[in-house]
């Protein structure tokens, strides 16, 4: 009996790939359509990049909003104010709630002395370069108890004045006024019912509803550009005032640090990677502007290292920022290497 011939193996059928590719294409088109109808949500984008870094890149990446929340919580515990201050988040950013009973005198918008150090510490955090691009919206809320004084004819005036008191304190402690907003809601947005079903007041609930809420939300791209332009205009005004006396004396005005490291508005149509690089370059500029001219080579080397880490991300759209920083670092290296007279 003849041995059966070895038949060649049959080729695997891959028709399923066509169906799979069609499904993926449809899903992509669906999500692109959703994106065109959605507003660009910076906190959501931060969460997405953090999740991608953790699940695909294998490393944890803390977003700026997460850092702000942690810093605020640490501040509250450090100041032993956790009984009267709560820190949380909403869909846009960080929410800090202050109990009015602990921060204001009764039926008044005057901040009690014991609460001022807490607010000053908070203003230091908000004024730091890390969180400079966050809006600070301060909301005043009251209970439904009626007030009728010469200064506060109703709860509208009281809630708005309390919010304004906090805003003024922040502005006095170097939080840029362009980032601040004060609004009063009176008793229109209670957290819990002010009265029971029989209409009797509930003192504990009323105390809960008397509050000031801080909403710390990252600026939109348009708001960031407008803010940066406003801050740059302020710096130029200050420089002009400083230069004016020198010009009157016939001296040649020295080129200021702000002129050498001007923070440029973000160019149009940056992709997400370029936006992150732009933020990192601006943060380095603000760090240098805040510290002033380097007094030793070690400080300069730290800035040089940060700049070198961004060198691989250089694109044509960000060329001017790179050129500014490169020129500054080279000039300062030459200055520091000169022998002292």
Could you tell me the residue ranges of all domains in the chain?
Answer: 64-191+204-219, 223-337
**What pLDDT sits at residue 151?**
94
CB-based contacts of 229: which residues, under 8 Å, 6+ apart? 265
pLDDT top residue among 125 and 59: 125
Which residues make beta-bridge pairs with 212? 98, 140
- For β-strands 85-89 and 180-184, DSSP reports them as unpaired
Rounded to an integer, the average pLDDT of 120-138 is 95
**What pLDDT sits at residue 245?**
58
Q: Select the highest-mean-pLDDT range: 13-22, 181-190, 278-287.
A: 181-190
* Strands of the 94-99 sheet, one edge to the other: 85-89, 94-99, 211-218, 134-141, 180-184
**What pLDDT sits at residue 104?**
97
DSSP tag of 59: S
**What pLDDT sits at residue 205?**
96
Q: Report whether pLDDT(11) > 90.
A: no
**Average pLDDT of the chain, as a whole number:** 84
pLDDT top residue among 253 and 63: 63
**What pLDDT sits at residue 253?**
52
Domain 64-191+204-219 homologous superfamily, CATH:
OmpA-like domain (3.30.1330.60)
Rounded to an integer, the average pLDDT of 225-239 is 83
**What pLDDT sits at residue 340?**
56
Degrees to nearest 5, angle at CA 295 with 337 and 237? 115
Alpha carbon distance 266, 212 (integer Å) = 34
For the chain, the straight-line distance linking the first and the last C-alpha, in angstroms and rounded, comes to 108
Q: How confident is the model at residue 26 (pLDDT cuts 50, 70, 90)?
A: confident
- Between 23-27, 58-62, 185-189, 268-272, the lowest mean confidence (pLDDT) is in 58-62
- CA-based nearest residue to 284, from 321, 318, 313, 316: 321
């Amino acid at each position: 009996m003849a041995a059966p011939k070895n038949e060649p193996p049959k080729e695997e059928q891959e028709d399923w790939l066509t169906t799979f590719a069609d499904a993926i294409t449809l899903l992509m088109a669906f999500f692109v359509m959703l994106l065109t109808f959605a507003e660009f949500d910076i906190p959501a984008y931060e969460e997405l990049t953090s999740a991608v870094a953790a699940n695909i890149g294998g490393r944890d990446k803390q977003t700026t909003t997460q850092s702000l929340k942690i810093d605020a919580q640490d501040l509250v515990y450090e100041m032993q104010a956790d009984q009267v201050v709560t820190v949380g988040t909403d869909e846009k950013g960080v929410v800090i709630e202050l109990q009015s009973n602990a921060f204001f005198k009764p039926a008044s918008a005057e901040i009690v002395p014991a609460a001022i150090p807490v607010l000053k510490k908070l203003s230091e955090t908000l004024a730091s370069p890390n969180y400079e691009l966050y809006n600070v919206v301060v909301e005043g809320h009251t209970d439904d108890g009626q007030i009728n004084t010469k200064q506060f004819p109703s709860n509208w005036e009281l809630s708005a004045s309390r919010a304004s008191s906090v805003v003024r304190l922040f502005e006095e402690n170097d939080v840029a006024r362009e980032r601040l907003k004060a609004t009063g809601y009176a008793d229109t947005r209670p957290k819990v019912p002010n009265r029971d079903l029989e209409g009797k007041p509930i003192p504990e609930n009323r105390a809960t509803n008397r509050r000031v809420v801080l909403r710390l939300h990252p600026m939109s791209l348009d708001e960031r550009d407008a803010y940066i332009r406003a801050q740059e205009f302020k710096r130029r005004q200050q420089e002009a005032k400083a230069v004016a006396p020198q010009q009157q004396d016939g001296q040649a005005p020295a080129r200021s640090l702000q002129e050498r490291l001007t923070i440029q508005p973000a160019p149009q149509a940056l992709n997400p990677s370029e936006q992150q690089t732009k933020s990192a370059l601006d943060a380095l500029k603000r760090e240098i502007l805040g510290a002033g001219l380097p007094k030793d080579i070690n400080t300069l080397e730290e800035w040089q290292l940060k700049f070198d880490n961004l060198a691989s991300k250089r694109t044509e759209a960000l060329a001017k920022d790179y050129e500014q920083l490169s020129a500054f670092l080279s000039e300062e290296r030459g200055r520091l290497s000169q022998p002292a007279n």
